[in-house]
Structure 1
Amino acid sequence: KSVEVDKNLKDIRPYIAAFVAKGKKIDEPALVDLIQSQEKLCGNYGSKRKTIAMGVYREDIIKYPVRYSAADPDKTRFTPLGLEKELSLRGILAEHPKGVEFGSIVKNFPAYPFLTDSQGEVLSFPPIINSARLGAVEVGDSNLFIELTGTDIDTLLLACSVMACDLADAGYTIEPVTVNYQYDTPYGRNITTPFYFQSPVKLDLASAVKMLGQSITADEATKAIGRMGNPVAVDKEHLVLTPPEFRNDFMHPVDVIEEIVMGRGLKSFEAVMPEDFTVGRLSPQEEFSRKAREIMTGMGFQEMIYNYLGSKKDIVDRMKTSGDDVIQISNPMTENYEIVRNSIIPNLLGSEAVSANAVYPHKIFESGKIARKDHADNYGSVTKNHIAFLVADREIGFNDASALVSGLFFYLGREYTLAPLSDPRFIQGRSARIMLGKNPVGVMGEIHPEVLEAWNIVMPVTAAEIDLDAVRLGN
């Protein structure tokens, strides 16, 4: 059993993994559980199908080899699951609900990923939708063909192993499928999946003793790690952990020490009182931030608290900015937390976008941290304490925002001036840069209609964001 991969997919959606699950008829609860596992795996770990998409098919009527090809989006047609008419691949992106939801993943490519068997029967249009025949798994089917496509081979292989282990635990017999590529991959041109790719992790026992603060023997450590379901061996003064097929989170020996702690149980470690004496107090930054929050609350604003991580869609795309200064997470678990925010305003607009039914005016603010790239800094980035507010109302305008900024600076005891501002987030001529002496410390103005439209906000909005650290220091 094999999958043949078209060479033209290398720059589109290059990787695929597959296996067969046999030997047990699927009932209604098991089918619901399988679909839920598929959606969770692809939606969260797979970044809403961008890096992983999964399909389940009726294996009995598939003729091998399965062909994973790059298809013409206009000439290639089939009947997708949930519809009773044939559509072209491009038509599916426009008319099918799943095409509308996930079409942005592939729509800009000259050819689209396409799965068929050796007889030309369509399995699916990954990562969008299965076919109405081979892809319509029903209660009573006992042999399943599972495939996963994606853009990162390690992520894909791990997801494949997770699903194979899940179905094996449910009582199925797992049969491998060989994937034959016409181009090089990190693991060669012929990969039999599920494929074990994880590397063993070696831990120096002395390092574990030092970090844990307690003496622990190799036998105790081995038993603790074993309780967590991890194979481990002793090599002189080292422990060598072999990660299970469904885990790829052992990046460092410290991760093995964590397994020891969980395997032994936290209660097995004696509590130790700190030997150092320190005096706790609020930092000057926190005191100044609290003062600013009290002022905003006194002016009738409601305080919000947000995550510091967000999606590129919210922080960059919807704000119509370049994103040149944003800090990206190298291995995000989900695209909702792939970027460290460089501004609080996107968070405030996100709240406003879901508050159309609340009584106007809406007045919200947050005081928190932002981070951005800064090549002049030793670490290449800076973290700042900012405060930002948003007001939404039918008649709100620049003068209202200016009055609120004036009130905040008055009670903070600072003098400021305004300078022209060119910022795609704001309307040109109805926005300004806030200056403290010759130094910019913030921005304010009316949010641009294109930004409001991207957030589906229909009411006029003004906003301001101020660098509290710069204001506190007077520069």
Structure 2
Amino acid sequence: MVSYKISYNDVLSILNLPQGTTVEALDDLFSYAKCEIEEHDLDDDLLKIDCKTSNRPDCWGVEGLTREVKGITGEKSGLPDISAEPSGYVIKVDPRLKTVRPYIGAAIIRGLSFSDFLIKQIMQLQEKVDFSYGRKRKRSSIGIYNLGMVESPIQYDLTPRSTAFVPLGYEKKLTLSQILSQHEKGIEYGDIFPKKGDLPILRDHRGVVLSMPPIINSNDVGRITEETTDVLVEVTGTNLEVVNAVTTIITQALRDRGGKAYSVEIQYPPKYLDTSEIQITPNTEPFELTINPKDIEKYLNLNLKPADMVKLLQKRRFDVVKKKNSLLIKYPPYRVDLLHWVDIAEEIAMAYGYMNIEPTKWKVMTIGHLSKRSISENYVREILSGCALQEVLTFTLTAPEKIADFMGQKQENLKNNVHIANPVSLTYSVLRSRLLPNLLDFLSRNTHNEYPQYIFEVGEVVKKNQKSVITFTKTAAVLTDADISFENAHSILDSLATQLGITIVLEALVDSEFLEGRTAKILHKDKQIGIIGEISPAILEKWQIYMPAVAFEIDLSMIPTLDLPPLSTS
């Protein structure tokens, strides 16, 4: 959950509410954006907001919060203005960034009237999005610059660590190496980058440094004051969908503060992206979802006609196009939480008002208990937890690059994986068929934490089998530390097998993901049930994990002492 501070009087001004509006009344309105007032002090003009959802970064500031509320109060209806005229500004991307921090989005906002209060509000939104949605700036980070000091084209490239500029808050130049070791932001976020190699930098065509993303802005171009009227917003990161979403979120917030948005042309190198080399940001086209009104009516158990649903969705700041037997929902690109028609059903229920839905009693009276599958899974968890491993839970949906490219494989080899037909984001577009890539992804996000790191997961994986889909239950463990070796993983595997009451045999195996001579098949009654080995340094480097690691993964559906048979779906 995300907490942030806003001004009571600022909220009244934005929403055109009368002085004296009670905190309770505002709290009721904010609930429509899944937020509530956690604390308040009207003498100090303070409201502390707690956003109860982690998937609405657009509501982590007063601009997005009040944008939602305006639809409920009737002040606004339908899709907000997301247009952006071409600015003529261009950002050119260096091809070497593809393996470091590959993506960038940008927008220009003109005609702003900054005050000290507004600067602090925008900075607060920036920090909240960077920290939570941007995963402490690793996945995305935001930079805002005084446009009057920037000339196009802008170059986003790599530069030696000896490059120097004056960072924000300093009066003298520091090299990039010095910024990482001396500046508070460099110390805090420096572990995003490898210990060696060139680093990202943003410069205009005269060579004027804008920033060292995602660490720190320059002290001149990167400083916003009350005299600033036009700004350049840029977002860099490692996930293109996230970068584009964050660009739209910040652009929309500044637009809500009276600015006019203009687009920026991003020029990527040839074959850098799977789509066009020229990207225009921010996104000015609404995303779309098609729903069947009958599904919504049945799901919510409400007597709602399509016309009623249209009105409710317009309150939620969507445009709706009526089709023959369906409704086409057009929603703003900053709504990263909408993936399925069930999400639209929730929006309709919120606009209808949960307090207006008559509660019903559950008609099926049963006594709950754990299934045999859950009992078997929990037994494996207990064993591995007893071996001093920490359990993690990762998403079943993942990105093709994580289970292919990062594991030294080609995405063309993912034919037996189940792919989502119309994914909103490539980050969650394919069902995992193994657990190991997810665990390595987890470790790559925790390189700043203390070692050793011993983790495991028990979970489901999915594979295609001709016309059916098979769900298996697997367990995997990864151990990483400076002096970790095959023997460490083998001892835990042996303990697991003993507690499960099975006998296992290891047989040498050559696998490109593991070190040759330090890898083996795990056999039970002459059938391979898994793999164990020391992970190849080449694979660890792709994940930016700089400690040795050993791992094993087992198909639990092949363990006769467990009740975990594969599940087939046609």
Task: Give the structure 1 partner of residue 299 of structure 2.
Answer: 211
User: Quick check: 343-352 or 412-421, which moved more?
Assistant: 343-352
Identity of aligned residues (%): 22
With over 3 angstroms needed to count, the CA separation of the structure-2 counterparts of 1:354 and 1:135, relative to structure 1, is: closer
Count the aligned residue pairs: 447
Distance 1:421 1:40, change over 3 A: farther
Selected match of 2:458 from 356, 368, 373: 368
Where in structure 2 are there 5+ consecutive unaligned residues?
Answer: 1-85, 566-570
Name the CA shift for 1:221/1:396 in 2 (closer, same or farther; >3 Å).
closer
Distance in 2, Cα, partners of 1:188 & 1:401: 45
User: Match of 1:224, as an amino acid?
Assistant: L
| Residue in structure 1 matching 2:352, options 264, 272, 282 | 264
Shift of 1:198: 0.6
Shift of 1:463: 6.3
453, 458, 473: which one aligns with 1:384: 473
Distance 1:51 1:348 in 2: 13
Where 2:260 maps in the other structure, the secondary structure is strand
Shift of 1:263: 1.5
Partner of 2:7: none
Aligned partner of 2:220 in structure 1 is: 133
Q: Distance in 1 between matches of 2:287 and 2:123?
A: 31
- Taking the aligned partners of 1:173 and 1:391, their CA distance within structure 2 comes to 51
Q: Out of 301, 308, 315, which is 2:387 matched to? A: 301
Displacement, 1:149? 4.8
For 1:420, the equivalent position in structure 2 comes to 508
Question: What secondary structure, in the 3-state scheme, does the structure 2 residue paired with 1:5 have?
Answer: strand
For residue 470 of structure 1, report the CA deviation from its aligned partner: 0.9
2:501, 2:561 within 8 Å by CA — same for their partners in 1?
A: no
Cα distance in structure 1, aligned partners of 2:165 and 2:182: 12
Q: 1:108 offset after TM fit, Å? A: 7.8
- Structure 1 counterpart of 2:247, one-letter code: C
Q: Does 1:221 align with 2:306?
A: no
Alignment check: 8 A CA contact 1:53 1:150 kept? yes
- Aligned pair 1:147/2:233, yes or no? yes
- Equivalent AA in structure 2 for residue 210 of structure 1: K
* 1:13-32 to 2 correspondences below 5 Å: 16-27=105-116, 30-32=118-120
Shift of 1:174: 0.4
Q: Does the Cα contact within 8 Å between 1:22 and 1:173 map onto a contact in 2? A: yes
Letter in 2 for 1:134: V
CA contact (8 A) 1:78 1:131 kept: no
Q: What are the within-5 Å matches in structure 2 for residues 91-110 of structure 1?
A: 97=186, 100-101=190-191
* Match in the other structure for 2:129: 41
Residue 342 in structure 1 maps to residue 428 in structure 2: no
The Cα of 1:176 is off from its aligned counterpart by 3.1
CA distance in 2, matches of 1:379, 1:39: 46
Q: CA deviation at 1:435?
A: 1.3
Counterpart for residue 4 of structure 1: 89
Q: How does 1:416-455 map to 2 (within 5 A)?
A: 416-422=504-510, 432-444=520-532
**Secondary structure, in 3 states, of the residue corresponding to 2:259?**
strand
Contact 2:535 2:550 in 1 (8 A): yes
2:152 to 53, 66, 69: 66
Change in 2 beyond 3 A, CA 1:321/1:199: closer
Aligned to 2:247: 160
Question: Are residues 31 and 217 of structure 1, via their aligned partners in 2, closer, same or farther at CA, if it must alter by over 3 Å?
Answer: same
1:467–1:133 Cα change, 3 Å = same
Q: Distance in 2 between matches of 1:17 and 1:280?
A: 52
Residues 183-198 of structure 1 mapped to structure 2, 5 A cutoff: 196-198=284-286
Q: Residue by residue, what CA displacement relative to the aligned partner does 1:47-75 show, whole Å, maximum 9, x if unpaired?
A: 7767755321234x436x53223668469
Q: 1:410 and 1:58 mapped to 2: Cα distance?
A: 65
SS in 2 for 1:309: coil
Please give the secondary structure, in 2, of the residue aligned with 1:41: helix
Residue-by-residue CA offset, 1:219-258 (whole Å, 9 max, x unaligned): 5434433443445576787655442464355555544332
Give the drift of 1:197.
1.0
Instruction: Kindly state the Cα deviation for residue 79 of structure 1 after the two structures are TM-superposed.
Output: 1.7
Report if aligned partners of 1:181, 1:189 keep a CA contact under 8 Å in 2. Answer: yes
Structure 1 residue 126: Cα displacement? 5.3
- Contact 1:228 1:263 (C-alpha < 8 Å) held by counterparts: yes
Deviations 1:328-364 (A, max 9, x none): 99666989x997862387599789995659xxxx9x7
Q: Which letter does structure 2 place at the counterpart of 1:18?
A: A
Match of 2:376 among 288, 291, 297: 288
SS at the partner of 1:368?
strand
Taking structure 2 as the reference length, the TM-score comes to 0.57
| CA gap 1:273/1:143 in 2 versus in 1, 3 angstroms | same
> What is the CA-CA distance between 1:33 and the residue it aligns to?
3.7
3-state DSSP of counterpart to 2:331: coil
Single out whichever of 261-270 and 449-458 deviates more from structure 2. 449-458
**Residue 173 of structure 2 is aligned with which of 76, 79, 85?**
85
**Residues of 1 paired with 2:284 and 2:484: CA distance?**
62
- Rounded to whole Å, the distance in 1 between the matches of 2:244 and 2:161 is 32
Cα distance in 1 for partners of 2:290, 2:131 equals 33
2:59 maps to what in 1? none
Normalised TM-score (structure 1): 0.66
**2:4 alignment counterpart:** none
> Rg bigger for which structure?
1
SS at match of 1:415: coil
Superposed counterparts of 1:222-261, under 5 Å: 222-232=310-320, 239=327, 241-244=329-332, 246-247=334-335, 250=338, 253-261=341-349
1:353–1:341: structure 2 CA closer, same or farther, 3 Å change rule? farther
Gaps of at least 5 residues in structure 1 are none
Q: Deviations over 1:277-305 (max 9, x none)?
A: 888665443343344455567xx535643
One-letter amino acid matched to 1:383: F
User: What residue is the counterpart of 1:322 in the other structure?
Assistant: 408
**Residue 75 to residue 341, structure 1, CA distance change in 2 (3 Å):** closer
Distance 1:213 1:396, change over 3 A: same
What RMSD in Å do the two structures reach over aligned CA positions?
5.7
Whether the 8 Å CA contact 1:204–1:238 is kept in 2: the answer is yes
